[in-house]
A and B are shown apart, each in its own frame.
Chain A
Amino acid sequence: MTTPTSAGGSPADADATSSGLVLPGADAAAGGTTVPLAARGSGQLADIRRRFVRNRLAMVGLAIVTVLIVLAIIGPYVTPYDAFEQNLANTLQPPSADHWFGTDVLGRDLFSGIVYGCRLAILVGLLTVAFSLLIGLTLGAVAGFKGGAWDGIIARFIDVFLAFPPLVGAIVIVRAVGGGVTPVIVALVALGWMTTARLTRGQVLALREAEYVEAARSIGADNRRIVMRHVLPNAIAPVLVYAFTNIGVVIVAMASLSYLGIGVPPDVPEWGRLISQATPFLRVEGKAHLWLAPALAIAITTLGFAFVADGMRDSLDPKLRGGN
């Protein structure tokens, strides 16, 4: 990092980078031989898994996330109604046996809408995080491993992108790219890769001088091989934990955008959009299902991902448990 706490890096990641977490697995690979991940870490991995399973909150999170993903995949095949089908003769109905969560302003079945929203949230969350991870890992590894001018240029890019207050930046990008789900993903990726890049850079910088890297170099491995086989596998754990934490953040960001009327088209039952359509009824007696259902859906989803991410962090490095 060229600037000490330069604009916007949240204190938590700055912390993780500077302490240069040395991860379990680093020792085992120190012989310079590259053993497949599973074989190398069988003891380590089993430890990690055991710690994760023992963490009750993490298991609750895992259960929630599993249900959500299954729902996202099979959703449209099991919902009782078409999530888009309007029925203006049957609007604002309270929950009943026919409509489990009631019907909304346009007479759509709210339960089907929530399930459709789940599909959208999971899809956007996973895609956004995957693309951010790809960009962040690549740029971070280049900056950390090459250093010099590369590092400088990438650091400047990170600074410019971090200068946008996140939501404001996303609004600008979505407006520029156009409406729909793809622009939302583009915007969230554009504003989501920087922390991953910084984390990776810090990790790679710390590992670049490790003895096993030197050993690999001395037997004639080229940079590409060293980075892909020796440095990245050892640097990736905290980056993955961050990525997982970010899935919830991305889902909330998309919901925030739709709440403001940006991105996802108005007729799509996206969770944030459903809440915004429910705002005129916030203080109306007997219409609480309109906002309660999507609000609970968002809250449960973000909590589920947060629990799993916390559990991953704790089980990867038990020393961190006392920390933030």
Chain B
Amino acid sequence: MARFIVRRLVQAVLVILAATFLIFLATFALGDPFASSGEKAVPPDIAQANREKFGLDKPLPLQYLIYVGNMVRGDFGIDYDQHRPVSQLLEAAVPNTVRLAIVAIIIDILIGVIAGVIAAVKRYSFWDVLVTVIATLAIGIPVFVIGVVLVANVSGWGPFPSVPRSFTVQVPWYQEVLLPAFTLAIIDAAFIARLMRGSMLEVLRADYIRTARAKGLSERTVIGKHAMRNSMIPVVTYVGVSLGVLFGGAIITETIFQYNGVGYLLSRAIVNSNAPIIIAVVVFSVVAYVLISMLVDILYAFLDPRIRLS
């Protein structure tokens, strides 16, 4: 087990390094943000001073090493526009994104698992067809269509704050998080329901379920204890991957609802070509995604000894 964890850890670090280097290269290829362009005329000495200030006068490999060195110490530099420390912007945005991710995951596990179990247990019934049809529709409709429809029709009604709203309006986080979390949850819940239904149907055919029934256990115990626990593994994997993506920021959903998480931070930075923020958020997303996938793998290996040995 220890060897497995070490191997997985080394792999995660290598992947993160490779990915950050790619991002760095890609962002560098964006061109010189301080050169004159269009109507913006920048005197050469000021452009030079700016380049020095942001370290853009050094060769690229050195820039990358300096960036990684600073990053490890939690310093992401300052942004081009207002010269704020990027780490502070991240610090403000990350808790919102984490809250959104957790609420969304709770909603989609609840809906997905319950719907999947009902569909499997009552196979071919009305409920099964209903779950299958709704799941197919939810998976087929892109998240920003759902988001846009909710903003247009539901926001500003009942407990849901309106979008957009003046920044003077204070809304408690649990109200603010509701609609975006629900938007994110719809599609994941549909996937989980499908996965749960599939693996549950397989498990229900297993010998130990027949044994459990044969020894006279109630249907409730058979389904709740024996069948459900054994059909959760694909769901656990899916939730892990999905949590990784969500922790890295749900760019589209956060942008639609103007929710102040890392995703919205990124989409605003893209509009302004604010490279330090773009790099920082992308690095954060990749690290969150890789680390969570790694944790899920380790958890998985812990649950299922067959994986450790392969």
Instruction: Please list the residues of chain A having a beta carbon within 8 angstroms of any beta carbon in chain B.
Output: 3-8, 10-12, 14-15, 57, 159-160, 163-168, 171-173, 175-176, 248, 252, 255-256, 259-262, 272, 275, 278-279, 282-283, 288, 291, 295, 298-299, 302-303, 306-307, 310, 322-324
Contacts and interface: CB of A to CB of B under 8 A. Distances in A.
A160 B145 contact: no
Contacts of A165: 244-245, 248, 285-286, 289
Given A260-B270, A298-B145, A163 B16 contact: yes
B110 interface: no
B87 interface: no
Which of B136, B194, B237 counts the most chain A CB atoms within 10 A? B237
Contact of B293 (A7, A299, A323): A7
Counting contact residues on chain B (CB < 8 A from A), the size range is 35 or more
Nearest to B239: A11
11 contacts: A11-B237, A12-B195, A165-B286, A172-B22, A260-B255, A272-B144, A283-B156, A298-B142, A323-B198, A324-B194, A324-B195
B195 A11 contact: yes
A282 B148 contact: yes
A171 B149 CA distance: 24
A171 B144 contact: no
Contacts of A291: 148, 152
Contacts of B134: none
A17 to B, nearest CB: 13
A299 B144 CA distance: 10
Interface in B1-16: 8, 11-12, 15-16
B144 to A, nearest CB: 6
B27 A176 contact: yes
Given A7-B294, A260-B251, A163 B289 contact: yes
A310 B140 CA distance: 11
A176 B25 contact: yes
B168 interface: no
B80 to A, nearest CB: 15
A322 B198 contact: yes
A302 to B, nearest CB: 5
Interface in B295-310: 296-297, 300-301, 307, 310
Contact of A4 (B144, B198, B202, B300): B300
Contacts of B281: 168
A259 B144 contact: yes
Nearest to B142: A252
Contacts of B286: 163-165, 168
A181 B145 CA distance: 22
Contacts of A172: 22-23, 26-27, 282
B267 interface: yes
A29 to B, nearest CB: 29
Contacts of A167: 251-252
B16 A10 contact: no
B41 interface: no
Contacts of A164: 19, 286, 289
Contact of B202 (A298, A306, A323): A323
B72 interface: no
B142 A299 contact: yes
A182 to B, nearest CB: 15
Contacts of A57: 136
A159 B14 CA distance: 10
Contacts of B197: 324
A173 B300 CA distance: 32
Interface string B136-159: 110111101100110110011000
A252 B187 CA distance: 13
Contacts of B27: 172, 175-176
A248 B15 contact: no
Interface string B265-302: 01100110000001001100110011001101100110
Contacts of B270: 171, 175, 260-262
A4 B8 CA distance: 10
Interface string B206-249: 00000000000000000000000000001101100100110011
A176 B29 contact: yes
B296 A5 contact: yes
Given A167-B252, A168-B285, A324-B195, A11 B15 contact: no
Contacts of A278: 148
B295 to A, nearest CB: 11
A7 B19 contact: no
Which of A278, A307, A324 counts the most chain B CB atoms within 10 A? A324
Contact of A7 (B15, B145, B238, B278): B15
Contacts of A7: 12, 15, 289-290, 293-294, 297
B251 A8 contact: no
B307 A4 contact: yes
Contacts of A252: 142
Given A10-B238, A256-B144, A324 B198 contact: yes
Nearest to A294: B145
